[in-house]
Structure 1
Amino acid sequence: MTSTEDITILKIGGSVITDKNSEDGLAWEEEIIRIAREISGFEGKLIIVHGAGSYGHPQAKRYALTEGFHAEGAVVTHKAVKSLNRIVVDILNDEGVNAIAVHPMGCTVAKGGRISEMYLGSIRMMLEKGLVPVLHGDVVMDTEKGVSIVSGDQVIPYLATTLGASRIGVGSAANGVLDDEGNTIPVITSDNFETVKGYIGGSAGTDVTGGMLGKVLEMLELGKASSITSYIFNATIAGNVSSFLNGENIGTAIKDS
């Protein structure tokens, strides 16, 4: 990969690469292979963030990690999301992407469920050297709660604002954010959010991080804090990931105004 000054952040949702109805983790490896091949042609600085799907949400729910500290639950949940991350990173490398795993548990501290600090020195160096950091939703240490769940959707805005990303895509299992008739809402801003909020559902499977509404809220906050427009699009459709990476604006655009 050749280096450019711009940073692109690509999120691949857990619903795209795992069966979110599974209780013990089931990865759709053929989908991961397809997406990895679409990513492999990209030239530029890229950060990949993937969701946990059935490799994190059921475990976090089982141990009630959103309600309080549970040491064994933290270990089990982190181990689960780490195993999915290994599958993703291995496939990316098999398809020619120089991907490196970065586990938020090892570099992030939260406060009350929100990221308060995250060590990014190694990620900056990876980007400069043409490596692709691959992060994920994870359990992290929390100064108030002991541990908390930090979703990939929360990781994205932190990375984007701190590193100065120029382009963000959130690949989901839907054609963007849909209205009450199933049509894609082209743009969501602070001005029309209250109108479209009623259309936005949660998740088809177990999700302890807010589903589609959580995604939209995180990206709206990012838009308020920066001039960055995010795009939520359907990553289950072949070609959409490469289209986004090639500069096409697809799905639902989310921005401040």
Structure 2
Amino acid sequence: MKIFKIGGSVITDKAIYRKAKMETIERIAGVLSGMGEMVIVHGGGSFGHIKAREFGFPGRLDEGNRMGVAIVHRDMVDLNSLVSSALIKRGVPAVPFSIIEHYRDGAVDYSILPSLLRAGLTPVLFGDTYVSGDYCGIYSGDRIMRDLAEMLRPEEAVFMTDVDGIFESDPKRDSRARLIPRFSGEGALLGGSGDVTGGMRAKVKEALEIKRFSGRVVIMNGNFPERLLQNGAFLGTVIE
């Protein structure tokens, strides 16, 4: 059993509202089609973050931003459909799982997942809005990964980001940034990227937590999904 998180920055252009990177989605789906039993999670990118910011989520839900819940959720469902359709095209029996429909009493009810897996299906979850009283929250894909790891105890948890792994400095700003091939929680984390879910810093924090429940945790570049198939040295960061 493996769990995969596909970052929103990998499968969308985060600067353009609802701009999906279909070629990348297709390539990732092709590689994942040979991974056996798995659960897949994907982020929102420009399908989630742009409108979430516009409507002030997470935050108080009121008359002025109620429509935002519907819009953000709709957009995420549309992105999930693109991902699921690409998987189905390659023979993966992908079944969407929506957080907003399963959030109750302060937690997500994942109880249906083991039944789906026993049936040979592949659940595909996604970062989503959720409503609790007069509050609208954002349940991130990274948080979903932690929930799944604790519940399913996977042999491997893989985070696909838009960089090769964890670096000593931000590789998007520092061309000399060095990749950290093995990371145990010591050393500098990347600064927050300013997105709704906290960027790489939040991802690393979740990855360290997930390591408690998973046999192997890695962060890799989702733009090169074929690296999952390499038999040689792995290019990415292994969480220890």
Please say whether Structure 1 and Structure 2 have the same fold, judged by a TM-score greater than 0.5: yes
- 1:10 matched to 2:15? The reply is no
Please point out which of 186, 208, 212 is paired with 2:200: 212
Q: How does 1:1-257 map to 2 (within 5 A)?
A: 7-22=1-16, 24-43=17-36, 45-69=37-61, 70-109=65-104, 116-142=106-132, 146-180=135-169, 181-190=176-185, 192=186, 195-197=187-189, 200-203=190-193, 207-223=195-211, 225-226=212-213, 228-243=215-230, 250-255=235-240
Structure 1 residue 72 displacement after superposition: 1.2
Structure 2: gaps of 5 or more residues: 170-175
Tell me whether 181-190 or 12-21 shows the greater mean CA deviation.
Answer: 181-190
Q: Aligned in 2, Cα 1:227/1:11: closer, same or farther, shift over 3 Å? A: closer
- What do you get for the CA RMSD once the two structures are aligned? 2.1
Separation of aligned partners in 2, 1:13 and 1:150: 14
Deviations 1:120-172 (A, max 9, x none): 232111111211100010001235x6220011011001111012222100001
Structure 1 residue 251 displacement after superposition: 1.1
> What letter matches 2:152 in structure 1?
L
Structure 1 residue 118 displacement after superposition: 2.0
> What letter matches 2:57 in structure 1?
L
- Contact 2:154 2:213 (8 Å CA) reproduced: no
TM-score of the superposition, structure 2-length normalised? 0.89
Structure 1 residue 201 displacement after superposition: 3.3
